[in-house]
Amino acid sequence: MALRDQIMNDIKDSMRAKDMAKLNALRMVQSAFKNREIELRPEPMSEDEHIAVLKKLAKQRKESIEQYQAANRQDLADAEAAELKLLEQYLPAQMSKEQVEKIVAEVIAAVGATTVKEMGAVMKEVQARTAGTADNKLVSELIKAKLAK
């Protein structure tokens, strides 16, 4: 089942169950899909673009959680965390830190990078190998740590 169809079915189920928190979050996702469709007209959205929109929304939630916690607003951080948890159900499974470390080490050896200045080439290759299943922030931190030694 296509991601968009799955979200539409979950919206209907949330309406029936009167789960307003889930319903509002899914409507927000649906709205983000629609906005992206408008940007891409006349081409239809691909499944990869749907996933990219979800990743963008998840990243926004993570940043909001950090900001709310810094401002001692745990109630708002908890609400964002609940939305993030919901969004992650629709995203492909993320690689573990150990798997990403292994790929980063392989790419650094293959590229022959020795300084942080060569991080761009390493980052590009790691992103190609992970195909969106690794958190880019984690990848960046691991590359910096390995090249700074």
Range of the domain at 45: 3-90
d(CA 61, CA 136): 15
What pLDDT is recorded for position 44? 87
pTM: 0.78
Same domain (yes/no): 8, 58: yes
Same domain (yes/no): 56, 116: no
How does residue 1 score in pLDDT terms, banded at 50, 70 and 90?
low
CB atoms within 10 A of CB 99: 13
**Number of domains observed in the structure of the chain:** 2
Same domain (yes/no): 34, 69: yes
Same domain (yes/no): 85, 106: no
d(CA 125, CA 136): 12
Report the CATH number that the domain containing residue 23 is assigned in CATH: 1.10.1510.10
Full DSSP string of the chain: --HHHHHHHHHHHHHHHT-HHHHHHHHHHHHHHHHHHHHHTTSPPPHHHHHHHHHHHHHHHHHHHHHHHHTT-HHHHHHHHHHHHHHHHHSPPPPPHHHHHHHHHHHHHHHT--SGGGHHHHHHHHHHHHTT-S-HHHHHHHHHHHHT-
Same domain (yes/no): 86, 51: yes
Same domain (yes/no): 113, 129: yes
Same domain (yes/no): 101, 135: yes
Residues 73-99 have a mean pLDDT of 92
From 43, 60, 90, give the residue that closes a domain: 90
Same domain (yes/no): 68, 112: no
Residue among 99, 94, 4, 103 at smallest CA distance from 48: 4
From 41, 57, 90, give the residue that closes a domain: 90
Residue among 53, 132, 123, 65 at smallest CA distance from 94: 132
Same domain (yes/no): 111, 52: no
Summarised one tens digit per residue, pLDDT across range 9-64 is 999 999 999 999 999 999 999 999 999 999 988 888 888 899 889 999 999 999 99
Residue among 64, 86, 58, 87 at smallest CA distance from 77: 64
Asked if the model's pLDDT at residue 85 lies above 90, the reply is yes
Same domain (yes/no): 105, 37: no
Asked if the model's pLDDT at residue 65 lies above 70, the reply is yes
Report the CATH number that the domain containing residue 143 is assigned in CATH: 1.10.10.410
Same domain (yes/no): 18, 82: yes
Same domain (yes/no): 9, 54: yes
